[in-house]
Structure 1
Amino acid sequence: MQIIFHIGAPKTATTSLQHALKPARLRLAQQGIAYVPTGKLRNSEFGEALRDETPSFFRRRVSRKAVDDFVRTWSQPGTDRMLVSEEGFSIYLLHPRRKGGDWASQAGRTFKILRHFEPYDFRVVLTVRRQDSYLLSCYAHLVRHGRIGLPFEEWWPKEVDLSLMSWRRYIEALNAEYGAERVTVLPYERIRDGFGGYYRNFIAEACRVPEESVADMEPEENALNPALSDPAMQIALIVNRHTRKQVTALERKDLIKEMKRVLPPKQFPKYAPDIKDLREATARIFADENRYVNEHLLAAPHPGFLFG
């Protein structure tokens, strides 16, 4: 049994993929793939034991039995691959804070989790996204969850160290740990050609299924996450500035849901602040590096990952 770990990154349509993969479990099984729905690893005995694992003298260690039980539970007759999609492996990438260490230096979290599966044949699948649009999506996420009260043009220069956002260093850290043959890297930008194609390409590349075998696989539902509308984003920022910690994250979420009922996203343009300065700054740092990643490290290169 080969285990395929889709580790994110966050903000690369991971949730949309997970929504689409869950109802496709029977079709995936016909291709020899047992899909483990999101959260099942996190909430398994293995996941619970991992949260309790400590590096102290009296170590709490994850048992081999917990790992074997997890694999056994989700194996299916006739399948030879298991797909686990949990961006929690790399959720620390979401907000590259200043003085937080670059992405590559924090890849040890992934190593810590996956070392428990070393007795198995496993591979790692990572999706990357051009740094400027990645940050814009991070910002929308943080506003939606009530964590930011600043306009975008004030937030990123104050809160983000762009130099920490190197995909090449992160990928090379994964390659050094697991070997390049066990790491598959895909570009988020392929989604611009349509979610259906993005979904099929993910199955083909992540699970190494011939493309002709998934050519007729369409997502069974519209899994795309609607962005906050421009007016809803502005109202959310006002709410965030004035409520701070007085309103729980769940209450904020409910407030924004109510806003979106009054201001349906389809009636307004998506939130799109001016990112000219951000794009120029990220291009200065990453234009050459992204070109290298696109040409040498991506399984399915895409021009949208380049800065032009």
Structure 2
Amino acid sequence: MKKELILHIGMSKTGTTALQKKLLKNREALIDDGICYVKTGLGSGGAHHPFAKAMNGKNVDQLFSELHDEISRSSCSKFIVSSELLERRRSTAWLTLVKSLPNTSIRVCVYLRPQDDVITSMYNELVKKHACSLPFSEYILNAGRLNLLNYQEYLSNLEGIFGQENLIVRPAVSNALVDGDITADFLFHAAPTKISMQSNKSEIYNSSTSATVSHAMARINANLTEDIDHLSQYKKATRLSKILDKVIANTEQPVGGYFESLDQHEAFVANYRLSNRWVEQRYWDDKPWLSLADGMKPVQHLDNSILPEQALEEVLSIAQLKAKGNHEAQEALIAGVWSTLIRYDLL
């Protein structure tokens, strides 16, 4: 029986967490239907992030050997590995994987979002967990994922390794997804099954805050004197952004609220129009699912926003996350947050 490995490689912020949790939750039922969500390199949260990280490590041969053995022992015909961290793996690692599985066909599934939507979503994620203090206009000049946003270049590299016929390229746009759902769309195109796994619309993972809150968080982050450990305490690290999102009115559109002007937005999206046309023509039958939005509003700054008194305790709690019991460090960190909130009329 010919076996097939499906690599779901993201991209980031395209509903990957929801899909991964569904696949993990339904793992046993999928196995009964001949589809294995592999255990090799599977993390506790449901994603194969350990697998992706190991691909850049010294034990990559052992990793691929374990995957080979799992596939060989299983009676399933399809195998799935899912991690958005795979979007950044080196070509040499992919080639090694191909050589390690000579009797297994490999297909790669990747979801794409419009680049202006991606860059604002990534910025939102970074500032809400205190990992970025730059204004958005500076962030977009040196963002770490800019090299991934030229989709023609990115997909051409994957084609050179796996072949165009083995790429499943999907638009991460709700009206283009099967049933408007990432899980249903992935299973339909990559691993058809009789099992119903459509996501619950009430289940939202890593939700974004408003553009206004992002601007406020960047200012707050610039004044923090201690790091917030978002890796081990993600929920606590992002608590402040969620509080602000409830109490600060937002008047911007999701994308446009980040750009300082329509000209800045146009200059950004113009960089990718030719690349997107290539994707549409090559993979989507010339359907313009990646057409970028226009007429976005310029940024509107904070306007008489008020942070309720009860939220201040949360702010101070978050500020102390990594003070590690050092009283002076705690005081300095609290003072930095407090002064920022006052300075920008958030208190």
State the TM bucket, normalised to the shorter chain: 0.7 to 0.9
- The one-letter code of the counterpart of 1:88 is L
Any gaps of 5 or more consecutive residues in structure 1? 54-59, 93-105
Instruction: Give the TM-score taking structure 1 as reference length.
Output: 0.73
- Other-structure match for 2:304: none
- Other-structure match for 2:70: 70
Partner residue of 1:51 out of 37, 41, 57: 57
The 1:22–1:151 alpha-carbon spacing in structure 2 relative to 1, beyond 3 Å, is: same
Secondary structure of the 2:173 match is helix
Counterparts of 1:238 and 1:280, CA distance in 2:
25
Q: How does 1:10-89 map to 2 (within 5 A)?
A: 10-36=12-38, 38-39=42-43, 41=48, 43=50, 51-53=57-59, 61-62=61-62, 65-72=65-72, 75=74, 77=75, 79-89=76-86
Secondary structure of the 1:5 match is strand
Map Cα deviations across residues 254-284 of structure 1 (whole Å, 9 max, x no partner). Answer: 5544325644659855865243345412432
- The one-letter code of the counterpart of 1:32 is G
Higher relative contact order (CA 8 A, sep 6+): 1
Partner residue of 2:281 out of 286, 292, 295: 295
Give yes or no for contact 1:4–1:206 (8 Å, CA) kept in 2.
Answer: yes
Answer with 1 or 2: which has the greater Rg: 2
Any gaps of 5 or more consecutive residues in structure 2? 294-347
Give yes or no for contact 1:290–1:305 (8 Å, CA) kept in 2.
Answer: yes
- The one-letter code of the counterpart of 1:305 is L
The 1:48–1:133 alpha-carbon spacing in structure 2 relative to 1, beyond 3 Å, is: closer
The 1:48–1:157 alpha-carbon spacing in structure 2 relative to 1, beyond 3 Å, is: closer
Cα drift, residue 201 of structure 1: 1.4
- The one-letter code of the counterpart of 1:62 is Q
The 1:122–1:251 alpha-carbon spacing in structure 2 relative to 1, beyond 3 Å, is: closer
Counterparts of 1:120 and 1:26, CA distance in 2:
22
- The one-letter code of the counterpart of 1:23 is K
- Give the root-mean-square deviation of aligned CA atoms: 3.8
Higher helix share: 1
- Other-structure match for 1:188: 172
Map Cα deviations across residues 84-125 of structure 1 (whole Å, 9 max, x no partner). Answer: 112221247xxxxxxxxxxxxx55554455543344222111
Map Cα deviations across residues 37-91 of structure 1 (whole Å, 9 max, x no partner). Answer: 75275547x97586224xxxxxx84376433233357x3x4x3111111222124
- The one-letter code of the counterpart of 1:70 is E
1:284 aligns with 2:264: no
Counterparts of 1:50 and 1:161, CA distance in 2:
18
Counterparts of 1:16 and 1:307, CA distance in 2:
25
Instruction: Give the TM-score taking structure 2 as reference length.
Output: 0.66
- The one-letter code of the counterpart of 1:6 is H
- Other-structure match for 2:302: none
Cα drift, residue 291 of structure 1: 1.9
